[in-house]
Structure 1
């Protein structure tokens, strides 16, 4: 899974904005953290000169709008930190994921760099984006609770990359007193969580759990709806549900039950492709046996019925047919996903080109004068017109990067963008349909695989019993 958060970067009293940005972006791009700088990418800016380009955009913003803020209130950039669970993603994919997240979160209207750090046990991205928009007309609107759309975008993109997500946050925010107590090592809740987590794996029943907690010195009050604990010296009882979703009465009972489930053995599954799945699954569900009971604990009757209904509705009676359809569904879903990504990439290029073409046109005369200026006078001219020259050079780099020889008109680019947007909307309808079909087929196939595996295991057990009785 990946965790993301947003942090504001403010100007500093007594230091220039350029100096502050350079320090912060230099830290993000640190070669020792980013594989010699190979894991640094930029959007609408060159990572090497990003701090200068960010600075220039702010100079243009101030000059054109006349707006100024005190250093402690002036947000000059935003930092997104995106952390990944160890072993779940490669540095290259982490960088791509971070780029996609930044592009979506900023709407493609802000310059940013993505620096993937690999110096810790977990890979994490530092995403620094300019608070000023590309056209220098306004700044990023950091709405209240902006972490919510950030988290949603992060979760969806992580799923696209095959990473797991936290479906529902388990913990509520802590009151300041509780947070401070935890930090000082004196939180009753923190101690209670630790004790429960230590005791649970050692007990077999709920009553054993309560006895073990009493032996740990806790006073316990229990009803049908809640469970409360109070440690020695604690003034008030703590309801278990306030510790988080894993500590409600139902969750604790479920955790105790799961510790008693037998560990699943790995079995090399050899499937009989001639088997009639409908008849076999119906027979399995009507029968009895420890293997089926374990399966039912994991899946339940509702899941089994869904599998049976799906096979019936789609006329699937052989395993080979099911496997082929599952493979085809996955391939179709991947194809439409790739198509959408290609369209999104081209739309990003068009948006960037439009901005650079406008900037290029606005600064062409100034840059032509700069080129004609004598070498001795160039430094002074550049200092006087630095903002325009940097914008012009950034535009030229963008044209070279995209292999643009002849500049298209903004009108032509807008028409192409509109056409791509229409195609993307149509493709997204296919995307949603194919995603649903793929998810259903993979779930059905997984359930069938599980049932067939149980059948194979039980056949082996029966064979062993027959050999013993001989």
Structure 2
């Protein structure tokens, strides 16, 4: 699940960003790590490239551009923007993502969405918490040195001009997140919905507070663990974590908003509502924490939805009989959901041992392969029973149905991709046509045919773009251009829809693979693929 993070920096030392990317830094203090001689320690593995810097170093090129345009000279100016694309740790082993490929994707993303900016693109093979996630750093100078086309996330004419600065607005971040999701779909990587928030929203500050608190707690518990004493607390929780637990506990035991507020008040938390938004005030604070900072599960709509479900469930439960005073106090036992499919991670295909031995494998391999086949036979029979098959023909029917389902999802996904590509092309043409509006208006202001001809010659490139866009609109029967914001919202909706279909496609593909493995193993166990004569000879032995 690729994620996108943005950090702006007011540091005038552009070389600091380059040093951070190339040398080891402490994950808590962000200070460089030095060796015994006081020198910087290079990172073990990384890829680094500079864009739009010519033959100069990134820091020198940025400072030279700032001086030329007279920008980024004040202390409060944002000097650079730092974007981080972090890929899922599973993308390496499962989808073949390498550091070099991630670097190529980062450079492509930078060229498409930050044109005209001096940039550093660096890929690291692992995160600071050693989770194995490949991630790409994109550091751009906030100043634009070239005029660029009008991109979908831009909303001002100055956003395309050279000598102006990059602005990371909320609309821009939504656009970048949508593009990251689209990139992951295109490359076959794991991805989650980045556009609709998260149930538990953890800020960067809270994340590092967890890390530092856990480190301090582990240090405190180390002497007790060494003495054989089990510590009372082993997992550090921030104040927001505790508040989330208190809110969920109050929600699960309430059927109305009044009851929910009273339950929270018993723990010292006050619920406040202002302009349709909830906030929570804890006893140790003077300023409440908004629901937006806690996550989507804690806003007003989500809270009311849970309370409504609780009230509906309470109304459906029959009242306790008076003759049995303890009936109403008994807790209903949770029912375990029935298992509908076997575990699909452990099943592998059987090995043709004789074929491997004929290729030169030794006795050690034969012994291992024999044990492997015995385990996979047991797993295959277990899967066969859990699926509920009573004959190999039922297995073949289920496999054919799974293939049909995979083809259906694949067809829907391709149709959606074609539709999304069409919407993106329409967006590109609309933006190009909108950018040429001042030139087209200038042509109308010309009084004579000679002046109009000269004007068209002076702005020939703009009129070529406008004519191409108008021709595209005519060919597709578009008489009224859509609003840019509505078109962008439609594209984001299609990307979210594609995200859901892509997950369905992965599940269908995994089911087909699993059923095919079961079928191949059953065939090999029953020797259904061998001639009938050979099978009888084996039985006669």
Give the TM-score of the pair, scaled to structure 1: 0.45
More helix by share: 1
Q: Relative contact order (C-alpha < 8 Å, sep 6+): which is higher?
A: 1
Give the TM-score of the pair, scaled to structure 2: 0.40
